[in-house]
Chains A and B, each alone.
Chain A
Amino acid sequence: DAGITQSPRYKITETGRQVTLMCHQTWSHSYMFWYRQDLGHGLRLIYYSAAADITDKGEVPDGYVVSRSKTENFPLTLESATRSQTSVYFCASSDPGQGGSYEQYFGPGTRLTVT
């Protein structure tokens, strides 16, 4: 499917478990982002990537790990899930270089519950 997809869409896990959220885009956008959205906080940036093998921390990176071996994929791993990581996670991509737009395109989101 064209666009940006996330999987799973819903996930329930237990405290201490490792969880990986997947993000895939078909536009060959250079930039990819992971956000979490909690009531009262808007969208907070966890990690982002400017290109394959280039990643950087955002506002709330603690407890998360990312990798980007291919341009189209940007998985987010919670190494040892905690209840405070219960949230809705959005992946996004953009292609701002060489006259492109800063507009970010969002995936459908993953609702993660840590029990």
Chain B
Amino acid sequence: EDKVVQSPLSLVVHEGDTVTLNCSYEVTNFRSLLWYKQEKKAPTFLFMLTSSGIEKKSGRLSSILDKKELFSILNITATQTGDSAVYLCAVGGGTSYGKLTFGQGTILTVHP
């Protein structure tokens, strides 16, 4: 059974801090790992990673994948209150081409 585990489950920081969110996975026939941000609405896409060691970056957010150790990290530097959200990690693989398996999510709270 495919499995995605995120840590920590929740995190409270102050503005300006740097945070690292973790995602480990066990999936047959790995194809991709995706990060989503969810505020009080539908998840919105952040990154998709398919190759090890290549950092994806968007502003203060960056992510990298390690396919040997089966994990990914999402870094957020100089956090702002607008970064407060649930961050979801999802992995594509297994027998169904389009299916994603989601982790439980990390709840990030950024205080001013």
Q: Which residues of A contact B (CB under 8 A)?
A: 30-31, 33, 35, 40-45, 48, 50, 56, 58, 90, 94, 96-97, 101-109
Q: Which residue of B lies closest to A6 (CB)?
A: B42
B 15-28 binary contact with A (CB < 8 Å = 1; else 0): 00000000000000
Interface size on B, residues (CB 8 A): 23
Number of A-B contacts (CB under 8 A): 61
Contact sample, A vs B, 25 pairs, CB 8 Å cutoff: A35-B102, A40-B104, A42-B6, A42-B104, A43-B43, A43-B90, A43-B102, A45-B99, A45-B102, A48-B98, A50-B96, A56-B96, A94-B98, A96-B92, A97-B97, A102-B32, A102-B34, A102-B48, A103-B45, A104-B34, A104-B90, A105-B45, A106-B43, A107-B42, A109-B42
Instruction: Give the docked Cα–Cα distance between A101 and B90 (Å).
Output: 14
Q: Are A109 and B41 in contact (CB under 8 A)?
A: yes
